[in-house]
A and B are shown apart, each in its own frame.
Chain A
Amino acid sequence: MKKAIWVSVLAMTLALMIPTFAQPAFAQPAETWVMMHGMINSYGGVPATYGMTWAYAKIGEWANAYAFWIPLSLGPTFGGLNITFTYSFYAARLVNASVVELNYTGYDFYISGIWDVNKLTFEYINGNFSKTIEVVVDDAPGELSVTSNWQVFTISITGIELLSGTVMFYHVTSVGPIPIGDITGPIGQIDHRVDIYDLVEVAQAYGSTPGNPSMPGFDFSIDLNFDFTVDIYDLTTLAANLGEEY
């Protein structure tokens, strides 16, 4: 009889505890936003002349990622009777993200999806320029992976060589979306706010294009919409975020 009572009590206790165990150990994670800038060091294992990547993402929902790089083989050329200047580079853009996660299977930050990669050539002749776009891969699967405690990254896109580099800056927050346009600050560094310093940075490069010898000042970091011209779209993109902090 005593045994039966104890068994009943134990059963009731377990029954009461089951809902508790069924609840998740932690509350549903808050919305998380990530921004990352990195410098591309090598392309296909060969040091790149120069290259950068940017990624903005809302974890689990969407991501924007861009990269450009100039292999040693595509170094700028200058000269000729007509004072011709040629500037070529590769540009990769994430077209559609399928996985956007933090701490994903050993990666600190991971984006996979469909990418486009183009080779662009800007040719400047006597103050005029022409732009040539050559498709390298179109709608190719690829991934951006950040590892080693946010120190290094790789971009692996089917059809091109592996890109690897160093993370220059990253920011992860659950407070709210990270505003686009924090390029610089009073001392020439990112200051976690979009203000007149950023606007001036873009304004001074207004109208510039990559490698333009007659209008220097183009920088991929201020070409906010990655269309290879610093123009009103970049100013308005930045202006929309003026006053925002993160």
Chain B
Amino acid sequence: MKTVKKATVSLAVLLVLLLPALLVYRAIVPVGVASATVTIFVAPATSKAPVSQNFIININISNVVDLYGWELRLNWTATILEAKNVVEGPFLKQGGDTFHSFKINNTEGHMLLDCTLLGKVSGVSGNGTLATVEFYVKVSGESVLDLYDTILVNSQKQSITHTSNDGYYYTPIYDVAIINLVASETTVLVTAENQGTETETFDVSTYYTLLMDPLIGTQTITLASGENTSLTFTWTANATGRYEIRAEAPLSSDIDPTDNTRITIIYIGYSGSNPGSNELESINGLHIAGFTFAMFASVIVLAPKKNREIPLFDIPAMALKQNLNNNWSTHSTYVWQDWTRRQPI
């Protein structure tokens, strides 16, 4: 019994000693590498092209040995894409003359591709392109480029085990937007967002309108899809009055340019070049600014929104609220009464 126990302990000790050695050995000594997996794959894995344009995918193979013939089916979303052309790739031709057959069904969105060497020749080994397929983008959308029922046959007429990797197509969307704009007497805070699918680099500019459209500043930003960022522009108003602050983020090919510009109205309620230095002037300035806003809001701001059926009352109400928040109740009342006498455009 003691002997058995001793043997067990010895075996355990031996294992404890051998295990780290084995791990170190495996780490430093390359183990006999198994043959790499044969793979048929769509390249590039992700394709993109605008509507009404063509794009090309390759159907590639890697690590194959003695390939004599191949067959595959490719499926796509027929409402999005249309297969225009299929060309045999150069890979199998390395082995000699070939025969290929391509059947395309654009109604259902699939194709059957077959290709074989001819005669008593050896198959081809290595990596390469089996076929090239050209698609036309009918409408915006996305589609899996699904490789299925793939068959590889060697020169001995035996199947070659392999895996297949699908591709993916999507229509790129270029769309940036100014999603927020807040201006104060000294700064303009702009929040720009990339609402498209592509990373964009674009300019964001802010302007103020008084007599002209002086540029406050321009900052170039890069946003990945879905990202947004806030930018601060520093400026100094050089006169009391109503300022229309406009932020622009122009982007060529933007699918929705309506949100690339945003406008806000602010009031600079002081006179002179030292904002806030004189309270009385500020009060007067606010009074004038509030009235002026009510006068112009319907023309400048509401007119473009007329077709959107936004009540005209919204803008003076907002102006009133802003005045009330600043505790200029007398002047706010005046503005309100003035506005209620106005007729909708």
Contacts and interface: CB of A to CB of B under 8 A. Distances in A.
Interface of A: 184, 186, 188, 195-197, 199-201, 203-204, 206-207, 215, 217, 232, 235, 239, 242-243
B117 A188 contact: no
A205 to B, nearest CB: 8
A196 B116 contact: yes
Contacts of B153: 196-197, 200
A204 to B, nearest CB: 6
Interface in B227-271: none
Contact of A204 (B70, B114, B157): B157
A200 B68 contact: yes
A199 B101 contact: yes
Contacts of B70: 196
Contact of B99 (A201, A203, A215, A217): A203
B112 A199 contact: no
Contact of B120 (A217, A239, A242): A217
Given A188-B157, A196-B69, A242 B112 contact: yes
B167 to A, nearest CB: 21
B203 interface: no
Contacts, number: 60
A217 B118 CA distance: 12
A199 B151 contact: no
B30 interface: no
Contact of B103 (A200, A201, A215, A242): A242
Given A195-B71, A195-B151, A196-B69, A203 B112 contact: no
Interface string B80-114: 00000000000000000001010100000000101
A204 B117 CA distance: 8
A239 B101 CA distance: 6
Contact of B119 (A184, A186, A201, A207): A207
A200 B119 contact: no
A197 B101 contact: no
Nearest to A240: B101
Given A197-B153, A203-B119, A206-B119, A235 B99 contact: yes
A239 B73 CA distance: 15
B274 interface: no
B284 interface: no
A203 B103 contact: no
Given A207-B118, A242-B71, A242-B103, 4 more contacts: A196-B114, A203-B69, A203-B99, A235-B99
Contacts of B273: none
B151 A204 contact: no
Contacts of B116: 196, 199-200, 203
29 contacts: A184-B157, A186-B159, A188-B157, A195-B71, A195-B151, A196-B71, A196-B151, A196-B153, A197-B153, A199-B101, A199-B114, A199-B116, A200-B69, A200-B157, A201-B157, A203-B116, A203-B119, A204-B68, A204-B119, A204-B157, A206-B99, A206-B119, A215-B120, A217-B120, A235-B99, A242-B71, A242-B101, A243-B73, A243-B112
A29 to B, nearest CB: 31
Contact of B114 (A217, A232, A242): A242
B213 to A, nearest CB: 65
Contacts of B68: 200, 203-204
A243 B103 contact: yes
A224 to B, nearest CB: 14
B42 to A, nearest CB: 19
Nearest to A188: B157
Nearest to A201: B157
Interface in B104-162: 112, 114, 116-120, 151, 153, 155, 157, 159
Interface in B151-190: 151, 153, 155, 157, 159
Contacts of A232: 99
A239 B114 CA distance: 8
